[in-house]
Amino acid sequence: MKTIQFREAICEAMSEEMRSDESIYLIGEEVAEYNGAYKASKGMLDEFGEKRVIDAPIAELGFGGIAVGSTMTGNRPIVEYMTFNFALVGIDQIINNAAKIRQMSGGQFKCPIVFRGPTASAGQLGATHSQAFENWFANTPGLKVVVPSNPYDAKGLLKAAIRDDDPVIFMESEQMYGDKGEVPEGEYIIPLGVADIKRKGTDVTVVSFGKIIKEAYKAAEVLEKEGISIEIIDLRTVRPMDTKAIIESVKKTNRLVILEEAWPFGSVATEIAYRVQEQAFDHLDAPIQRINTADTPAAYSPTLLEEWLPNAQDVIDAVKAALYVK
């Protein structure tokens, strides 16, 4: 094992796959000459050249469309967005083309493409740069949605996403690129659609994904000192969702808390809650607790932003609410 940063795990995954398959290329703003806005493509231009690591103009609809179209001639592009907030400019290409090519062509064309970049809040970036879109894309049949929370998962999941013959939305975080973690020296793949139990527990199941799961880890340490054992499940892939892993955990703990960095209405947490009450209602000893951001645009003020985001205390309160319900 070696210890590397999240950004390095992303770079290794892309580089390893590009070495083994010449049909793979990377396109996006500042991915080449600048080594990526977050240095996730550092050194790739030097190794693969300007035909496979391509600096695009500030035109997400344009370079997204070029990439989607190129899948129909045998290519496997990786599209980097400086932030998924900018993907809204090119979302027509993702929703109306990438997600539907296979079905609308009667299976004659597949669309092996990865759209990747940061999601959700990253500090004082304002309301239009602090949005989470996992539930938006997961609502679209034909798309797979991946949200890793650490370098190990990021590399293994990205390699799987690049090899997938369907379009994958791969969502990262600006605040995780510097995170360090152990990654195997050799080849490994993490299959899409498989959740991971990050911490085993017996009293309450906590389901989360992405960088906000760190708040669950903090809460678990505090609760353990009080004799409360929580099981933490990292979804890793939002769609397809590993419902089986969630249900099995809930049948053991009989309680569920869902932690998500997104607005509550129509959220991933809402979908999880529905599936659990549908498939494991008789195993629940308390109402499902859901933790989301405040139902407002993100604030710029650091004080208001702190109140807007879920935190470890929110998790502690939700766990205790699930345990002590009357």
Tell me the pLDDT tens digit for each residue of 25-36: 999 999 999 999
Backbone angles phi, psi at 27, to 5 degrees: -135, 140
Quote the pLDDT of residue 84.
Answer: 96
Tell me whether residue 29 is one of the annotated catalytic residues: no
Domain identity same for 18 and 135:
yes
Q: Is the model's pLDDT at 211 over the cut of 80?
A: yes
Average pLDDT, the chain: 97
Final residue belonging to a domain, choices 134, 153, 183 = 183
The single residue of 8, 12, 60, 271 carrying the catalytic annotation is 60
pLDDT digits (tens, 9 = 90+) for 220-269: 999 999 999 999 999 999 999 999 999 999 999 999 999 999 999 999 99
* Catalytic annotation present for 283: no
CB of 246 closer than 8 Å to CB of 205: yes
Model pTM above 0.95: yes
Which residues lie across from 197 on neighbouring strands?
233
Last residue of a domain, one of 183, 218, 247: 183
Q: Is pLDDT above 90 for 158?
A: yes
- Does pLDDT of 289 surpass 60? yes
Q: Which of 12, 129, 172, 215 is catalytic?
A: 129
Domain boundary at 183, 218, 241, which? 183
Across 188-281, the runs of DSSP E, i.e. the strands, are: 196-199, 204-208, 230-234, 237-239, 256-259
Q: Does 189 fall in a domain? A: no
Residue 326 has pLDDT above 90, yes or no: no
Confidence of residue 325 (pLDDT cuts 50, 70, 90): low
Amino acid occupying residue 155: K
Residue 311: what pLDDT? 98
Above pLDDT 70, what percent of the chain? 99
Range of the domain at 265: 196-323
Nearest to 319 by CA among 255, 245, 234, 227: 255
Assigned domain for 266 exists: yes
Does 161 share its domain with 223? no
List, for residues 17-71, the tens digit of each pLDDT value: 999 999 999 999 999 999 999 999 999 999 999 999 999 999 999 999 999 999 9
Q: Cα separation of 250 and 198, whole Å?
A: 15
For the chain, how many structural domains are there in total?
A: 2
pLDDT digits (tens, 9 = 90+) for 80-104: 999 999 999 999 999 999 999 999 9
